[in-house]
Amino acid sequence: MNDQSVQIKLVSGDEEGLPVYMNLKTKVLIFKDYFGFSPLASIIQDSLPEISWHILDEHRQIGGHPCQKAEGEFAGRLYEAWFATDIPVPFGPYKLWGLPGLILEAKTDDESVQFLFKGLELSDALADRVFVPSKGRDRFNSYEEFHRAEEAMYECEMREARAEGRMVRIIPAPWDCKIEIRE
């Protein structure tokens, strides 16, 4: 703190973890995200994102599974995804979905986000582990509502800091946040 700046890297998850629940019939997505610097995640219900995938004619093996490459844009980022053609379910990591096979690996074109395949365990008890997130600080009806509330909270914090004579600047960056405080 001697230089009046702090670097914070958040490691997230509670006893539920950070589950992402998708209902393909109702096109509903329910997931958890962090609101400001609260240690408790909020629950957000939103519509399932439409990802326009382009399936390419590139193939490789990942963890013994034949995979095919696809590219698609999601949340302003271009993703390269590899889906298992022998596992015909349309899911993947985080909020990625919609390919004709399980997405085993995905990364953004700038590699700021990467999901790498470690292993696959099939279990008869799998149904017991698929659940709608229920433990959270707040509930929001869309990601836009969540984002507006978060921006309002940051603005309030900055106004309070300025009223106390401090100069505060919050600089968001992927997976961490740099906060500068100047007296």
| Distance of alpha carbon 82 from alpha carbon 98, whole angstroms | 12
Banded pLDDT at 167 (limits 50, 70, 90): low
Q: What percent of the chain has pLDDT over 90?
A: 31
- Which residues lie across from 65 on neighbouring strands? 62
Q: Residue 82 in contact with residue 104, Cβ under 8 Å?
A: yes
Range of the domain at 70: 5-182
Say which residue, 35 or 8, is predicted with more confidence.
Answer: 35
The secondary structure of 5-19 as a DSSP string is EEEEE----BTTBS-
- Total tally of structural domains belonging to the chain: 1
Banded pLDDT at 153 (limits 50, 70, 90): confident
Say which residue, 154 or 46, is predicted with more confidence.
Answer: 46
* CB neighbours of residue 62 within 10 Å: 15
Averaged confidence pLDDT in the chain: 78
| Distance of alpha carbon 53 from alpha carbon 46, whole angstroms | 20
Q: pLDDT tens digits for 32-87?
A: 877 666 667 788 888 888 999 999 999 999 999 999 999 999 988 999 999 999 99
User: Where is mean pLDDT largest: 17-21, 25-29, 100-104?
Assistant: 100-104
Say which residue, 80 or 1, is predicted with more confidence.
Answer: 80
Residue 94 has pLDDT above 60, yes or no: yes
Residue 30 has pLDDT above 50, yes or no: yes
Alpha helices (H) along the chain = 126-129, 143-163
Residues 116-133, mean pLDDT to the nearest whole number: 72
